[in-house]
Amino acid sequence: MQGREILIVEDDIAIREMVDLALSRTGFEVRTAANAVLAEREIERSPPSLILLDWMLPGISGIELAHRLRRDKTARDIPIIMLTAKGEEGDRLRGFDAGVDDFIVKPFSIKELVARIRAVLKRTAPKNDQEPLEIDGLRLDPISHRLTYQGETIRIGPTEFRILRLFMGHPDRAFTRRQILDRIWGGDVSIEERTVDVHIRRLRKALRGHGGRGFERYVQTVHGTGYRFSHRKD
């Protein structure tokens, strides 16, 4: 069942079994792990479509595991929803810095959890690398390497084009500077993280004046973390 396999990483057996049963009844295929070590084994055996990850795991914490997964070539693109009792802004920023896609605070309803899972899966669904990306009339064509709005070509540098392609392929997802460097320049290249800020400024400048008040406002700074591309204000 492609795109429907969920790995639950939760040490509380009651929560683990409750979520397992509920998601299975909803039509998802479910695997479980009680700690980070077992989770890594499951992911190595077969990467799931999405990971539900408890923050407070024994031994290796959920936040540390998220960091590790985002550095792993096999697992770095697997969406992660963090299950946590921590709802403060600082904790959410730590999670986004680790590459988490969404949060759900305990206690939660199964209906909310399923809705969050479906939303994240839809948002992070892999796209054809050659397929044009379009958001609110802003169209990026990887084949012709053109960026247009209402048929008008927007001049943009090659690095800014690649960054925008990354952003538009994962709308609303927050990326750290390190993650952007790894995706655009490659993990083996030694470049200062602040280099990303320079290219973000150039990207905003290229988008300025296009699309109503300007698409540059879509390139949002996530304070303490990095950047995301979103038309939402939050």
Residue 234, pLDDT above cutoff 70: no
User: Is 96 in the same domain as 159?
Assistant: no
User: Is 137 in the same domain as 120?
Assistant: no
pTM of structure: 0.59
Q: In CATH, what number is assigned to the domain containing residue 120?
A: 3.40.50.2300
- Alpha-carbon distance 63 to 95, whole Å? 7
Over the stretch 173-211, which tens digit does the pLDDT of each residue have? 888 888 888 788 765 556 788 889 999 999 999 999 887
Q: In CATH, what number is assigned to the domain containing residue 198?
A: 1.10.10.10
User: Is 60 in the same domain as 120?
Assistant: yes
Over the stretch 1-14, which tens digit does the pLDDT of each residue have? 345 899 999 999 99
User: Is 140 in the same domain as 207?
Assistant: yes
Over the stretch 96-151, which tens digit does the pLDDT of each residue have? 777 888 888 888 889 989 988 988 887 776 555 678 999 999 999 988 889 999 88
What pLDDT does 1 receive? 37
Whether omega for the bond prior to residue 48 falls within 30 degrees of 0, making it cis, is no
Over the stretch 56-75, which tens digit does the pLDDT of each residue have? 999 999 999 998 998 887 78
Enter the tokens of residue 75.
């697992």
List the domain range (segments joined by +) for residue 174. 133-229
**What is the number of domains present in the chain?**
2
What pLDDT does 2 receive? 44
User: Is 97 in the same domain as 185?
Assistant: no
Over the stretch 78-111, which tens digit does the pLDDT of each residue have? 899 998 886 666 777 777 777 888 888 888 889 9
User: Is 20 in the same domain as 108?
Assistant: yes
User: Is 88 in the same domain as 120?
Assistant: yes
Pair 115, 108: CB distance under 8 Å: no
User: Is 120 in the same domain as 138?
Assistant: no
Whole-angstrom Cα Rg for the chain: 19
